[in-house]
Copies of this chain bind each other. A is one copy, B any other.
Amino acid sequence: MRISQLAQQTDVPVATIKFYLRERLLHEGELTSPTQAQYDESHVRRLQLIRALLGPGGLSVATVRELLNHLDHPPESRHDLLGIAHHAVHRPVGDGLDLEPVHQLIVRWGWQIDEQDHDTPAALADALRGLEIAGFALPQTRLDRYAELMAEVAEVEIADLPIDSLEAAVRYVVLGTVLVEPVLLALRRLAQQDASARRFGAPPRTAD
C-alpha cells in the first residue's frame, strides 16, 4: 500500500509517519519509483506499537527507538530481557543516592536482584527519598506489605512468560513492563475510590 493508505488504515497522519521514518522508529518501505514506496502489514503493526509506546506508555522517541531495537535484535537469555526493559524505561534519578537502605530491604525480603542493575534499586531509593523529604516516610510494615503485593503481581507475570518463542518473550517482557504500569496505577486509583466510598460514604451512583 502507499503511504496515504497506511495513514488511513492506522489513523496516523502522513507527516507523523514520515517523522517516524526519519527517526528510524519505522522501517523504510520498498521503493517502487524514486519518489514512491510500498508499505505492508509489518508497517501497520509497527506503527500501532509505536503509537502505544509513545502514547499510553508515555515514553520518549529515544526510548522507543531503543526498545524497538531490542525487539528486533533479542538477547540470548530470557532473563536478560528484563534488564533491558527495566533499563530502557528507567528515568534518571538525582545524584548522591544512598542505596544501602534498599539493599537491606532486598536482603530482608530475600529477593534475588541482578548485581549489574543499579537503575531499579536507584529508582526505589529515589522514590523513598521523595517520600522522606516530603515528611511522609513509609512505615516498615507498609513497605513490607507493598513488597508482598508487588511480588504477587510479578509472580503471575513471570509465570505467564511465553517460553516457546523468543520473539513472543521479548514482546511480553518489554510491553508488559511498559504498558502495564499505567494499568496498575489506574486500578489503584479506582480501588482507592471504592475503599474510600465504603469507608467515608459517597453519593449514590446513578444508573448507567
- Residues of A in contact with B (beta carbons under 8 Å apart): 45, 48-49, 51-53, 55-58, 77-79, 82-83, 86, 91, 93-94, 103, 106-107, 109, 111-115, 117, 120-121, 123-124, 126-131, 133-136, 138, 142-143, 145-147, 149-161, 171-172, 175-177, 179-203, 205-206, 208
Closest CB in chain B relative to A44 CB, distance in Å: 11
User: Which single member of B48, B131, B195, B201 contacts A151 (CB below 8 Å)?
Assistant: B195
How many angstroms between the C-alpha atoms of A203 and B117 in the bound complex?
Answer: 12
4 further contact pairs, Cβ within 8 A, besides A147-B187, A149-B149: A112-B202, A113-B194, A146-B183, A151-B195
Q: Is the CB of B52 within 8 A of A130?
A: yes
Closest chain B residue to A104 by CB distance? B208
Closest chain B residue to A171 by CB distance? B136
Q: State the oligomeric state as a number of copies.
A: 2
Q: Is the interface of A mostly helix, strand, loop or mixed?
A: helix
Q: Show 8 A/B contacts (Cβ-Cβ < 8 Å), sorted by A.
A: A56-B129, A57-B130, A79-B201, A112-B197, A114-B193, A124-B183, A124-B190, A158-B199
How many angstroms between the C-alpha atoms of A198 and B112 in the bound complex?
Answer: 8
User: Which single member of B184, B192, B194 contacts A188 (CB below 8 Å)?
Assistant: B184
Question: Which 8 A-B pairs have CB atoms at the shortest separation, nearest pair first?
Answer: A56-B130, A154-B191, A124-B186, A52-B134, A127-B182, A158-B195, A112-B197, A111-B194
How many angstroms between the C-alpha atoms of A128 and B200 in the bound complex?
Answer: 29
